[in-house]
Chains A and B, each alone.
Chain A
Amino acid sequence: MLEGLVSQESLSLNSMDMSVLERLKWVQQQQQQLQQVVSQSSNNSPELLQILQFHGSNNDELLQSSFSQFQMLGSGFGPNYNMGFGPPHEAMDECISRTSSCHMEPVDTIEVLLKTGEENRAIALKNKRKPEVKTRGEEKTEKKIKIEAETESSMKGRLNMRNTEASSDTSKETSKGASEIQKLDYIHVRARRGQATDRHSLAERARREKISKKMKYLQDIVPGCNKVTGKAGMLDEIINYVQCLQRQVEFLSMKLAVLNPELELAVEDVSVKQFQAYFTNVVASKQTIMVDVPLFPLDQQGSLDLSAINPNQTTSIEAPSASWETQSQSLYNTSSLGFQY
C-alpha cells in the first residue's frame, strides 16, 4: 500500500505546482508513516531537522531524545543517507519507545527518502506545513507557506538566518539561548505562538512585513543591492551609498566654494541653470549626463578618488531618477506628505 503512495508521492514531488489543498491532504495521509523516519534521517540535512522540530510540537522530550539519537548516529552517517539502513531501524525503535505516538514502517519510509535531495527537501517542507495546519489557523499557514516558498529556493545558510531572525523576533516570548538550541528556540516560539499570544505575534509579523517592504524599496533605489542577499549586506550597501552621496555633495560644495568668486551668476543664468538641472532628470536626456562625466574637471581639487567614484555614481544615479515616477506613488502615498500631484 505504501509503495503505491510512495510512487504517487514521487510523481507529485516532481512538480511543485500542486495546489496547497492537494498537498495538505497528501501530507495528512503521510504523516503517521513519515514522521519518525524523517526525524531519524534529518540528522543529515538541516532542513529535515527543522521538520523534526515542527513535529515535536509540544513535546520537548521527543526533541531532546532525538537530538541525543542524532549525536549517536551522526558519526555513522555520511551525506548520503541511502546507506543508513541498519542503524536507523534500531534507533527508530528506540525512538518509538521513547515517544508516545508514531507507528511506522521503516523500510518503506526510507525508500521515500532514497529519492533525490530536492525531493526530500520537498517532503520536509510539506511535513513542515502539516503541523501548522494542525496547530495554527489559516493565516499563519499562509504566512509559513510564503516563507517556505522562499526557503525552497534559497541556500541553507539563508534558512538558518531566517530561523534566527524569527527566533529573535519573538525572543521576548522565549527564555532560552543556547547554541544548538537555537533551533529549539524556534520550537518554543512556535509552540507558544499557537497557544496564547496570537495578537502579539501577528502584530510583530505585520511590522516585519512592513519593514521588509521598505527594505525592498531601498533595494531598488540603491544600486548594487540586488547582488547582496540578506538584511545585513543590504544595510551595508545602503550605508555605503549614503556615505558616498554625502561625500560627493561635500566635494561638490567645496568645488563650488573655490569656483564661487569666478561665478557669473546673472538672473538669466539662474533660469538657465534651473532648467538645465531640471531636464537632466528627465529620462530622455540621459545622453547629456553621460557627456557631463568626462567634462567634469578633476584636477582642481586633486581628489582623484572621488572622481573615480563619480563616473560610477552618475550612471547609477540616472537609473533611480528614471524610476522615480514609478516609485513616487508608493513613496508619497505611504507617508502622509502633502506632495503636489
Chain B
Amino acid sequence: MERQIINKKKRVFSLEPNKNPSAVFTRKYTSHLVPALKKLNMNKNSSKQTVKHEVDMALALSAQEFAWSRFLLQKLSSSSNPTTTTSSSSDGIRILERPDKEGGNEEGGIEERLRELKKLLPGGEEMNVEEMLSEIGNYIKCLELQTIALKSIVQDST
C-alpha cells in the first residue's frame, strides 16, 4: 500500500503508514495538539502554562498504550493549575548538584539513580524497577517524537 502526499513540492511516499509506530504516534499527537492550540488561540487566553498543559495532554492522549500516559493524564486532570513533570527551576538546580553526587560508581549510587529516574517518569514511583525501565524506554521515544512534532509546528508558523 502506498500513499502519495504532495505537499508544496515535497513528495512523501509511505509504505503502510499505519504500521510505523512512530508515524502513528506523531500523527495522533499533531491531531490532538493543533486543534487544541487553535482553540486556545481563539479564546485569547493562552498563557504559557496552558500551552504546556495542552502539550502534555496531547502527549498523554497520543500514547495511551503506555502506563505512564495514564499517570500523566491523571496528573493533568487533577491539577487545575497544572505543574507538569518538568519543572525547570528545580531541574536546573538538580543538574548542578549532580556532579557532586556522581562521585563514585557504587552499588548505593545505582539505587539513587534509579529513584531519580523514577521521579522523572510520570507514575514511575509506583512501578517496580523492571516495569519502570521498559516504560522509560518508550517514554523517551515519545518525548523525542514530541520534540520533533513541536519543532515542525513551531517552524511552520514562523
**Cα distance A321–B144 when bound, in Å?**
8
Is chain A's binding surface mostly helix, strand, loop or mixed? Answer: helix
**Cα distance A164–B139 when bound, in Å?**
31
Any A CB within 8 A of the CB of B85: yes
Interface residues of B in 101-158 (CB under 8 A from A): 102, 105-107, 109-110, 113-114, 116-117, 120-121, 129-130, 133-134, 136-141, 143-158
The proximity string for A residues 258-300 relative to B, scoring 1 for CB distances below 8 Å and 0 otherwise, is: 0111111100011011111111111001000100100111000
B144, A317: Cβ atoms under 8 Å?
A: yes
Q: A263-B41, A278-B26, A278-B27 are in contact. Are A253 and B18 (CB under 8 A)?
A: no
The interface size of chain B toward A, counting residues with CB under 8 Å, comes to: 80
A218, B27: Cβ atoms under 8 Å?
A: no
Any B CB within 8 A of the CB of A17: no
The proximity string for A residues 234-258 relative to B, scoring 1 for CB distances below 8 Å and 0 otherwise, is: 0110111111011111101111110
B150, A252: Cβ atoms under 8 Å?
A: yes
**Cα distance A221–B135 when bound, in Å?**
13
A281, B26: Cβ atoms under 8 Å?
A: yes
Among B26, B110, B152, which residue has the most Cβ atoms of chain A within 10 A?
B152
B91, A247: Cβ atoms under 8 Å?
A: yes
**Cα distance A234–B44 when bound, in Å?**
45
**Cα distance A245–B140 when bound, in Å?**
8
B137, A278: Cβ atoms under 8 Å?
A: no
B86, A281: Cβ atoms under 8 Å?
A: no
Q: A211-B133, A232-B105, A235-B117 are in contact. Are A265 and B141 (CB under 8 A)?
A: no
B152, A242: Cβ atoms under 8 Å?
A: no
> Could you name 24 residue pairs across A and B whose Cβ atoms are closer than 8 Å?
A214-B134, A214-B137, A236-B98, A242-B117, A242-B140, A245-B147, A247-B91, A249-B146, A252-B151, A254-B48, A256-B37, A256-B150, A257-B52, A259-B158, A260-B40, A270-B34, A273-B152, A274-B34, A276-B7, A281-B20, A292-B152, A296-B151, A314-B151, A324-B141
Binding site for B on A (CB under 8 A): 161, 164-165, 168, 207, 210-211, 214-215, 217-218, 221-222, 230-233, 235-236, 238-243, 245-250, 252-257, 259-265, 269-270, 272-282, 285, 289, 292, 295-297, 313-314, 317, 320-321, 324-325, 328, 331-332, 334-335, 337-341
